[in-house]
A and B are shown apart, each in its own frame.
Chain A
Amino acid sequence: MERLEPYLCIAPSLTVLAIFVFYPILRSIYLSLFLTDPLGNPKVFIGLEHYASQLSGTFLQSLLVTIKFVLYTVPVGLVLGLILALLAYQPLKGTRFFQLVFSSPLAVSAATGATIFLMMLNPVSGIVNYVMGLLGIGKVHWLTDPRWALWAVGMVSIWLRLGFNFVLMLSGLQNVPEELYEAALVDGAGPWARTWHITLPMISPTIFFALVVGVIHAFQVFTEIDMMTAGGPSNATSVVVFQIYQEAFRKYEFGAASAQAILLFIVMVFFTYLQFRLGERRVHYQ
């Protein structure tokens, strides 16, 4: 009995992971090598043909859109989250309140955020265009103009992600030892010097972590796209996950969609590896 105990403890987790993670990975790889019928059963073995056709067509196009989306949203999101965290970490009365306010987007789902921004970005009656008009900038057809649609969706994503980035940065700040600031204060360092020379290096692991997680998250964007633009206008916001969804659950091409999913995974692994190669050196671990 004693010897069985550890296995009994991990059995529930292992069972769920086996059915809903391990098996699906193998199944996806398998499906990606087949033409499937509309029910998802593999019918004709075609080898790597899905991969070849994806790499010469739709996948590359949607990958490009996705990479643009990552570049639009992740850096801005990180900087904003960091600024909010630095503001709310000051020893002032009422910071608890501001901390709660800054983390509030965490409770807003992508579906909710998308709906609210759909209203705010309405080209005719929306408040965003109204304010832009007041500032003397012309009206923008945010979601129907191919030049703007990805920015518009990106804006929503940045806001939605702000709560997470803030909470992450704040918990990083809380791990910086107080003595370092005291020592710097004795040396006469001002607030800027303290931020630049102590805070930022000390929380660089947090920033790096937020970057890696943020990039992975942005590669997987779906909800805002599905609700706000459905991939349009003229495929300007057709990110990879949206393509996978279309391919699998609208066109019932489960084999091709599986190939896209695996290609996306490979790309994500590559980008994560790249970040570790380039980033780790600049990160200061305690």
Chain B
Amino acid sequence: MTQLALIIDLNVCVGCSACVTSCKEWNTSGLAGPMTDRNPYDADPTGTFFNRVQTFEVGAYPHTETVHFPKSCLHCEEPPCVPVCPTGASYKRPEDGIVLVDYDKCIGCKYCSWACPYGAREIDEQQKVMKKCTLCVDRIYDESLPERERKPSCVLACPTNARLFGDVHDPESEVSVLIREEGGYQLMPEWGTKPANHYLPRRKTRLRIHDDELVRVDNPLKKEAPRPRPALDEPSLDDVTSW
């Protein structure tokens, strides 16, 4: 069984939102589009996004760390949004585990968004149907694209390689190895939804600098000492040279 998913390395994400814009750009003009924006230049702008980068501050000042936290649909292995759908518009593909919405069947009752603890689903204000991350299902199987581009557009856009894409059920895949070796975890494990997307935890990095690393003990030439500077009343270079 294949279960495609995203792995997000929180240690690497810098919160640039490149994944957000590339997601919107690709999907608004593709299978899942349009992802409508309302009042883009007015007081209350709002729009449909499949992916958002949220920022959290962890710790108390001054010992704080900023965690940039990209979140899209987690393509749960036990998706609570699917059984509650009254029309069958919301479904999980058995062949690759992607959770999708059939926009032609959706009645816009919003029940699936209530049933998702992660807030991954958003209703499109124009089409009045529920929309969500498709894992770029129209991209990853497109044989007209070169092999290395058959990935979700957020993964391709990430400048720091914080996002990885692969089959989490294949123990040999890059993402499975990372989950195993880097301690990849799932969000809100308490609800038993078994999200397919995993997050790699932040690693504490501390730079410890000791005095002897700054100043060499044996320093015969005194290279690090201040450079000799002539006093103001001494002749300068201009005084001793003729042009």
Real binding pair: no
Contact surface of A with B, Cβ cutoff 8 Å: none
